Structure formats: C-alpha cells, structure tokens
Amino acid sequence: MKPVIYVTRRIPDEVLQPYRDSFEFRMWEKEDVPVPRDVLLKEAASADGLLCLLTETIDHEVLTAAKNLKIVANMAVGFDNIDVEAAREHGVVVTNTPDVLTETTADLTFALMMATARRLIEAADYIREGKWKYWTPYLLAGSDIHGKTIGVVGMGRIGEAVARRAKGFGMSILYHNRSRKENAEQELGAVYKDFPELLQEADFVVSLIPLTEQTSEMFNQGAFKAMKSSAIFVNASRGGTVDEEALYDALINNEIRAAGLDVFVNEPISPKHPLAGLDNVVCLPHIGSASAATRTKMLELCLDNLKAVLNGEQAITPVK
C-alpha cells in the first residue's frame, strides 16, 4: 500500500503526476477556499503525510487526530502556522520551503518599496478614474529610492537578496538581525545597527523577520514614533510582526510617510480594512513568492520532502 498524502488545497495535476507512483494523494478539491477544520481533522486521521499551506493551523489537535502522520510539509518558508514543538512531541517532521522562493520574494519586496515610494498604484488609479487632465510639476510626486538608506530588519536569505537589489540602486544598507552577517557586511557594505538606531536612520524600514513570540508586534507605536517622518515602512514577512493600529495611527498622524504591506495580522483583509483605505498605503494579498515558476518549485520541494521522509530518509529542508 502506498503512503497516503493529504493535500490541503487543489494543486495542478502535472505537479503531482511524477509522484503518483510513490503516493496515494487525497486532496481538498477547492483552489481558492481553505480546507474546513473538520475536514482537515478527518483527513489527517488517515494520512501519512500532509502537504499544507500557511492557511492551515497545525496544532496539538490535528497532530493527535493524525495517528499515522510522519511529516507535515508546509508550502511556505514561514511556519508560524505550525506548532513545531507539538510536532516534535508527536514525532512528526516539519519541513518548509526556503531558498526556492528567496529571489522571487525579494523581487516583490523591492517592487513594493518602489510602488509605495513612487505612488504607482495611486498613479494608475488616477488614469483609470479619468483624473489626468494636464502634466503638472508635482503631480503624484513621490520619494526617491536611489541614494536613500534602507534598513532591513531580519537579514536572512530574503533580507540579503533585498539588500543586493538595494546596492544596485545605490542605497546605503543598514540591517538588524539576531546575529551579525559578516558576508553581507563585506560584500554589500551592510552596516549592523541595533533596532532603535536602524529605525531612526533608515528611509525605508523593511520587515523580513519571521513571526515568533519575540517578534510579535515588534513594529509598535514606539517603533513608528522612532522612524523619520519621511520613512516608508514595508512588510513582506508576517502581519503579526506589526501592531496594525499603531501603524494606522502613525500614517494618519504623518509620523511616517507611507507603507507597503504584503501581509496582515488576519488574512485575507477586506477593502474596509483601515489600512486598505489610506492613499499612502499599498496593500497586496500576500503574494511575495507568487511567480508561477516559484510556486511550482515550492510544491515540488514539499513533495520531495514528503518522499524523502516517507522513504525513511532525512528531510531536505526540515524546520530546525
């Protein structure tokens, strides 16, 4: 009998095809809607492996229901949706998808910086709404990116990839991280700063830190007050690293100039979300790694991890 893999969202058949000899796949058949909790609990009970997304909470309850489970392969580099400690107690390996999404996510992060600084969404809407009558000296004038200072908070793989792009734009690079990154200091001229210093000095403050107990709401009222009034805040990691009310207050009180957000505390957000209603905020629906090629690579890495672990081998990208 082949091991049973439960896939929590419909994924393309051509991605699954090469693995069909090894596994019996069961799948939540909807592409746009997450699997309901009761269905997940029922399906997990007979699964040897789970291929899940960041929309699923994998906790004690799921792990207890899933008696045969050996591996949870999360289709994301972030894994704050999984109780990793509980998985360890249940003897279940957890894997994520680092590396394959680094450059794609860095592209989007940089695009978000640029869209926010140069007001690209407002500008496109300006035409769509029939407002463009004349060329005007300060029409939709934004902030420069080149020559400015970027402060990367969370200098992991994606942080370094963003910093490389920043170097190409002639930016000065500051970073804050749990540990020093000597290679980034040497190769990119990145300068380590403690968090308060970085907030004071950066023109662009970019959050790329994973969400943990320590980083929860790290960007709070005090952090926004410490930033320059011309600062642009960009978040491409997890919404929970930000106190959204404090961010909203900072934006409407002109304590910072603008924000570019790919992630939110509770996703999805509606157009009524206070931050979505502000002209100086660019909101995106968590698409950091969303190029078709990268999303396929993420799925393949999940499947390769499942294959390795269910064959009794080491996982390729286990969560430590």
Q: By rule CB under 6 A, what count of residues binds ligand DGY?
A: 6
Q: Which two structure tokens, joined as six digits, stand for 2?
A: 């082949």
What is the DSSP-derived secondary structure letter of residue 71?
E
CB distance 59 to 81 below 8 Å: no
Q: Which two structure tokens, joined as six digits, stand for 254?
A: 């002109």
Longest dimension (CA), the chain: 71
Indicate the residue among 4 and 82 with the shorter CB distance to ligand DGY: 82
Contact residue for ligand DGY among 6, 288, 303, 310 (CB under 6 A):
288
Indicate the residue among 177 and 235 with the shorter CB distance to ligand DGY: 235
Indicate the residue among 78 and 159 with the shorter CB distance to ligand DGY: 78
What single letter denotes the amino acid at residue 212? T
> Catalytic: which of 119, 165, 238, 257?
238
Contact residue for ligand DGY among 76, 145, 258, 299 (CB under 6 A):
76
Indicate the residue among 201 and 233 with the shorter CB distance to ligand DGY: 233
Nearest in space to 125 (alpha carbons), one of 290, 254, 282: 282
Contact residue for ligand DGY among 289, 301, 310, 317 (CB under 6 A):
289
Least distance between ligand DGY and beta carbon 97 (Å):
6
Query: Does 63 participate in binding ligand DGY (rule CB under 6 A)?
Result: no
Asked about 286 being catalytic, the answer comes back as yes
CB distance 224 to 250 below 8 Å: yes
* Bridge partner list, 95: 73, 318
Query: Per-residue contact track with ligand DGY, 162 to 201, x per CB under 6 A?
Result: ----------------------------------------
Query: Does 156 participate in binding ligand DGY (rule CB under 6 A)?
Result: no
Contact residue for ligand DGY among 77, 94, 234, 315 (CB under 6 A):
77
Asked about 176 being catalytic, the answer comes back as no
- Sequence-distant (≥ 6) Cβ neighbours of residue 230 within 8 angstroms: 143, 203, 256, 257
Query: Does 154 participate in binding ligand DGY (rule CB under 6 A)?
Result: no
What are the DSSP calls for 150-173, one per residue?
A: EEEES-SHHHHHHHHHHHHTT-EE
> Catalytic: which of 89, 182, 187, 267?
267
CB distance 180 to 192 below 8 Å: yes
Least distance between ligand DGY and beta carbon 77 (Å):
4
CB distance 150 to 202 below 8 Å: yes
Query: Does 226 participate in binding ligand DGY (rule CB under 6 A)?
Result: no
Residue 85 CA from chain centroid, whole number: 22
Query: Does 227 participate in binding ligand DGY (rule CB under 6 A)?
Result: no
Q: Which two structure tokens, joined as six digits, stand for 143?
A: 């902030």
Cα-based angle 95, 98, 102 (whole degrees, multiple of 5): 160
Q: Give catalytic residue positions.
A: 238, 267, 286
- Binding interface with ligand DGY (CB under 6 A): 76-78, 101, 288-289
